[in-house]
Amino acid sequence: MKNYKKNRQVVSNLLIEDFASEGKCIGKLEGAVVFVEGNVAPGDVVDVEILSFKKKKFYEARVIKTHSLSEKRAEPFCEYFGTCGGCKWQHIGYKEQLQFKWQQVSDHLHRIAKVPLPEIEPIFPSEKTTFYRNKLEYTFSNLRWFTNEEIAQGVELERNALGFHIPKRFDRILNIEKCFLQPDPSNDIRNQLRTFALSKGFRFYDQKHNVGFVRNVIIRTANTGDVMVIVQFAEPNQEDIDVTMAFLAETFPQITSLQYIINTKGNDSYYDQTAILYAGKPYIEEQMEGLTFRVGPKSFYQTNSDQAYELYKIARDFAQLTGNEHVYDLYTGTGTIANFVARQAKAVIGVEYVPEAIEDAKINSAINGIENTRFYAGDMKNVLNEEFVAQNGHPDVVITDPPRAGMDEPVVRTLLRMEPTKIVYVSCNSATQARDLAWLDEKYTVQRVRPVDMFPHTHHVENVVLLEKK
């Protein structure tokens, strides 16, 4: 096999054969797999430049020329496609996106779990494929990323920007005029806030040197019509902060929760910072099947509200609760699933690592008049023990919704010792879910599998699995 890496060699007329993980596509070269990232689709014929290789088994490459386009393609609808990095599959038809996501789940479960599986049910599609997110975060920067089209204009361009990080460039921000991810008034708030900051001569944040005034803005919208805006400032200039917040309050009366954070750290993370309420309520509210969920500035809530409802309905359907079950909800977050199933259970016990999230979960139970839930904060592998079970009752059903890393092996071992009748496993990463299913195979059989598309135009997919004790 040739050493294509040595001279950054170009491979001509490579047929893109299929999708791969993490949104990439693959072709074949002399028996090796070529992973190609970017604006490619199965069926394309392209020239690629080899960027790296590993043990002559696979290559990493980028497209430098396209000869013919696949029938699976669609016309991208956003002017920033290919630069922003947020919706990498706009050029793929939605039907093909769904098919690949289903196939990805199937491949992971068969190849990694290697356990007996039922027929995998059809993926649940998203009715909305644009404007489906309820939260976006934009960054102010004095280092704007210029597209080739902008550079070609040959005119002096504004170097300050408010928008999204360029992939793999922490210090460069793509200025955004219209994003198709979040419904109104998100675009208008961002654009007018940027115009206001420029008109006032505010210093946009410098990522490299941690200097500047306006730093970041988080916009959350809710299905009740509530709108939360949180502005991060990197300097405690109270006069300019008040001027900025007053502008937002006056220009956008639909903002129901207006807050700000003074963050002088070297990163944008605000979970250890104090959010100061300027106007309105300290939270917004989402509604789901007659339940109300309060979402604070630091609260986690599924970013696709409509599909979260469908996901939770599927999880509840898999659990087949009768009203007599003790349910454990692991990685409960702000208790959304716990409260959602509480009316169909005898008791629901939620466990979560983040103490603030547990306080949100308790509030959500209280405001909905739910009295059969209890919530505990702590590391899952330390909380779940015999004493905990003796105190809270043996679980008949466990619902688990871990982060992308899946469940720690000690947690799986604890589940095997507890032996609940059913486990409903909700996952945002079917690869780690498959690994956990292999561990659980010692005592459990997979009975149902259903993927759910939460994020159209991305490679991400949720998956729900029902396991029953053998």
Mean of the pLDDT values across residues 30-43?
88
pLDDT number for residue 147: 82
To the query of whether residue 78 is one of the catalytic residues in this protein, the response is no
Give the C-alpha separation, 157 to 175, whole Å: 11
Give the C-alpha separation, 401 to 407, whole Å: 9
Give the C-alpha separation, 374 to 350, whole Å: 6
Give the C-alpha separation, 65 to 48, whole Å: 7
Name the least confident of 22-36, 131-145, 415-429, 455-469: 22-36
Give the C-alpha separation, 193 to 217, whole Å: 9
Q: Which residue has the higher pLDDT, 269 or 241?
A: 241
CA trace torsion 89, 94, 98, 100 (10° rounding): -50
Which residue, among 243, 159, 137, 257, has the nearest Cα to 196 in the 3D structure?
Answer: 243
Chain-centroid distance of CA 388 in Å reads 31
Q: What is the per-residue pLDDT across 292-304, written as a single tens digit (0 to 9) for each?
A: 999 999 988 999 9
Q: What is the per-residue pLDDT across 408-425, written as a single tens digit (0 to 9) for each?
A: 999 999 999 999 999 999
* pLDDT-based confidence at residue 30 (cuts at 50, 70, 90): confident
* Nearby residues of 96 by Cβ (< 8 Å), 6 or more positions away: 41, 42, 72
Give the C-alpha separation, 362 to 35, whole Å: 46
The two three-digit tokens of residue 171, written as one number: 């210090």
Q: Decide if pLDDT at 1 tops 50.
A: no
Q: Decide if pLDDT at 4 tops 60.
A: no
* Active-site pick, 25, 78, 87, 428: 428
How many CA atoms are closer than 13 Å to the CA of 122, on its beta-carbon side?
4
The one-letter amino acid at 436? D
Mean of the pLDDT values across residues 78-87?
90
Q: Decide if pLDDT at 406 tops 80.
A: yes
Cis peptide before 185 (omega within 30 of 0): yes
Give the C-alpha separation, 381 to 385, whole Å: 8
SS3 percent helix, strand, coil of the chain, rounded to 5, is 25, 30, 40
Calculate the alpha carbon distances from 48 to 13, 29, 116, 191, 380 in Å.
Answer: 8, 11, 40, 37, 46
The one-letter amino acid at 359? E
Q: Report whether 16 contacts 40 (CB < 8 A).
A: yes
pLDDT number for residue 6: 52
Mean of the pLDDT values across residues 210-238?
97
Q: What is the per-residue pLDDT across 93-150, written as a single tens digit (0 to 9) for each?
A: 999 999 999 999 999 999 999 999 999 999 999 999 999 999 999 999 999 998 877 8
The mean of the pLDDT values for the chain is 93
Mean of the pLDDT values across residues 273-288?
96
Q: Report whether 398 contacts 328 (CB < 8 A).
A: yes
Which residue, among 330, 335, 432, 428, has the nearest Cα to 379 in the 3D structure?
Answer: 330
Give the C-alpha separation, 47 to 31, whole Å: 18
Q: Torsions phi, psi of 214, nearest 5?
A: -80, 130
Q: Decide if pLDDT at 312 tops 80.
A: yes
Long-range contacts of 52-57 (CB under 8 A, 24+ apart): 52/5, 53/3, 53/4, 53/5, 56/1, 56/32, 57/32, 57/33
Calculate the alpha carbon distances from 235 to 159, 240, 363, 371 in Å.
Answer: 20, 10, 33, 44
